[in-house]
Amino acid sequence: MMSTIAENLARMKVSLPKPAAPAAAYLPFVQSGKQLFVSGQLPFVEGRLSAVGLVGRDVELEAAKAAARHCAINILAQVQAAAGDLEKIARVVKLSVFVASAPGFAEQHLVANGASEFIAEAVGERGKHARAAVGVASLPLNAAVEVEAVIELA
């Protein structure tokens, strides 16, 4: 018997935060057909960014990977707000992972694993997703990582 996403999160000792309020003239998510587009999430933990600066200079790999996980937790919080129930996730379709990267840092895929592994563990088979991971020059508020998602709802 498969456990629910809520059961998985409880086992992982992850509480979903109150989703971040819409900033400015955009929304945290929009549904188009069955696809839920979740806006780029920053690694906010209790109102503060968990990792700030460039990965490979200001932020170590492990801290960046944890920040990617925080972004993914915030994505699930948005999905819960959008769908009401995480069990309505039919499939996590795609994650785009943007890593603020110091010159020469080339392990964006390992940073992104922090998001991918969290989603896979929390959501299970339906959580296995396509992905792109790239190294950007900088991110809003100097965040070290930003993750956006396309989720298919049932």
> Interface mask (CB under 8 A) for its own copies, residues 46-85, using x and -?
----------------------------------------
φ, ψ for residue 24, nearest 5 deg: 60, -155
φ, ψ for residue 61, nearest 5 deg: -55, -45
Largest CA-CA distance found in the chain, in angstroms, rounded = 47
**Of residues 38 and 64, the one with the C-beta less far from its own copies:** 38
Among 43, 69, 135, 144, binds its own copies (CB under 8 A): 135
CA 89 from chain centre, in angstroms, equals 15
* Closest separation in Å from C-beta 2 to its own copies: 17
Can you say whether the dihedral through the CA atoms of 80, 83, 84, 87 is positive or negative? negative
Q: Does 10 bind its own copies (CB under 8 A)?
A: no
* Closest separation in Å from C-beta 46 to its own copies: 20
Q: Are 89 and 123 in contact (CB under 8 A)?
A: yes
Q: Does 8 bind its own copies (CB under 8 A)?
A: no
Residue 142, judged by CB atoms within 10 A of its CB (0-12, 13-18, 19+), counts as middle
**Of residues 45 and 148, the one with the C-beta less far from its own copies:** 148
* Closest separation in Å from C-beta 117 to its own copies: 5
**Sequence-ordered list of residues with C-beta below 8 angstroms from that of 70, at least 6 positions apart, any chain:** 43, 44, 45, 50, 145
Residues 31-50 within binding reach of its own copies (CB under 8 A): 32-35, 37-40
Q: Does 30 bind its own copies (CB under 8 A)?
A: yes
- List of residues contacting its own copies (CB under 8 A): 23-30, 32-35, 37-40, 91-96, 98, 100-109, 112-113, 116-117, 119-120, 128-142, 146, 148, 150, 152
